[in-house]
Structure 1
Amino acid sequence: MDEAKARRPDIAIIERPKTFFEDRPSRGITTKPFMIVEIASSNWSTDLVDKQEEYQAIGVPEYWIVDYWGQIPAKYCWRGKGKKVIVLTLGNGEYQRCEYLPGETIPCQTFPNLTLTVDQVLAADAEDIL
């Protein structure tokens, strides 16, 4: 029997649970997210391999990896080492990968009218979001 895994993504765009305003809402995400954003940290390989495989397996349509510090080694980046946003979109059951560098606009499948640049993502902090 496979052991159930749970991830706590940095950002998950989900449908609001029907139990949202009830006294005892369920804990955690119980539906497939429309989009997940992870901030690459010292364990960046988890974002590029483990989480990517898990999110693809459950059918998350869009997955972004934000490399604020440009720490992902060049051999794992198609456009070289440096600050970037890696966008994975699901097509035919597999992720298609694109990398966006500072100065470029990131297309968003989940929010098609959103115009967001890599520079804006890299400059954001919690106060910008709240």
Structure 2
Amino acid sequence: MTQALTKQVTFDEFIAWYPENPQRRYELHDGVIVEMAPPTGDHEEVVGFLATKLTLEYSRLNLPYFIPKTTFIKPIEGKSAYSPDVLLLNRPNLINEPLWKKESTISDAASVPLVVEVVSQCVARVPRVEATDEPVRVSSNWRDDYHKKLADYEEMGIPEYWIVDYAALGGRAFIGSPKQPTISVYQLVEGEYQVAQFRGSNRITSPTLSELNITAQQIFDAASNF
């Protein structure tokens, strides 16, 4: 369910428009402001579990990384801006990010060792936007994660991208048939993503954090503790 779109906006217009205290989360997709589906409790538990485990690991290894609360990734073509569920930033490279200080935005792949998107249900409704006449649509969610963001992160050269599909919402072309909870880890090899998939008791293999010791099932269980 989407509103009719009559106008596209630039990245600068999107940043200028973005509400100071938004009641919703928004991204920019090819010049269109997109309202992200409100997160469920399960979604937030998975995000929290991953953020904790990743933080413990890079801290143990004394790596110069941190996970920001809210940061936009601006792809090469400049008409989109994504706010990932979990984002590892390489602090020393932020000096090369002209939009970091004022707009909390990065565009250099060297700033992003790892990005994670957690797939969740899309709420089908007409969005209500605070104080704006800009066109807005609701995110199609899993399609954005598996199609658009995958292509843009690859083009940017981000070395590692996880899609955590704990509810098996993605298309069968991506997670197989019958569909089952799957974590897809995309690694950049010679400019193209190659994917390894993890389910059940499979230990996640991360090129960035090679000693990370968590299984796919541990991540899935974060969404079903009670």
TM over 0.5: yes
Is the counterpart of residue 123 in structure 1 residue 221 in structure 2? yes
Q: 2:105 and 2:204 mapped to 1: Cα distance?
A: 26
Larger helix proportion of the pair? 2
Q: 1:59 aligns with which of 146, 157, 171?
A: 157
Q: Which residue of 2 aligns with 1:104?
A: 202
Post-superposition shift, 1:74? 2.2
Q: Sort the Cα spacing of 1:3 and 1:36 in 2 relative to 1 into closer, same or farther, 3 A.
A: closer
Q: Answer yes or no: is the 8 Å Cα contact 2:175–2:182 preserved in 1.
A: no
Is the counterpart of residue 29 in structure 1 residue 102 in structure 2? no
Task: Give the gaps of 5 or more residues in structure 2.
Answer: 1-76, 122-140
Larger strand proportion of the pair? 1
Write the deviation string for residues 20-41 of structure 1: whole angstroms up to 9, x where unpaired: xxxx933323243110000012
Is the counterpart of residue 9 in structure 1 residue 84 in structure 2? yes
Q: Answer yes or no: is the 8 Å Cα contact 1:100–1:106 preserved in 2.
A: yes
Q: Which residue of 1 aligns with 2:118?
A: 39
Determine which structure has more spread, i.e. the larger CA radius of gyration.
2
Runs of 4+ in 1 over 6 A off after TM superposition: none
Q: Percent sequence identity over matched residues? A: 29
Q: Which residue of 2 aligns with 1:72?
A: 170
3-state SS in 2 of match to 1:6: coil
Q: Answer yes or no: is the 8 Å Cα contact 2:84–2:117 preserved in 1.
A: yes
Q: 1:114 and 1:58 mapped to 2: Cα distance?
A: 25
Q: Which residue of 1 aligns with 2:181?
A: 83
Give the alignment's TM-score, normalised by structure 1: 0.81
Which amino acid in the other structure matches residue 202 of structure 2? E
Write the deviation string for residues 50-81 of structure 1: whole angstroms up to 9, x where unpaired: 00000001111000000111112323324641
Give the alignment's TM-score, normalised by structure 2: 0.48
Q: 1:60 and 1:75 mapped to 2: Cα distance?
A: 23
Q: CA RMSD in A?
A: 2.0
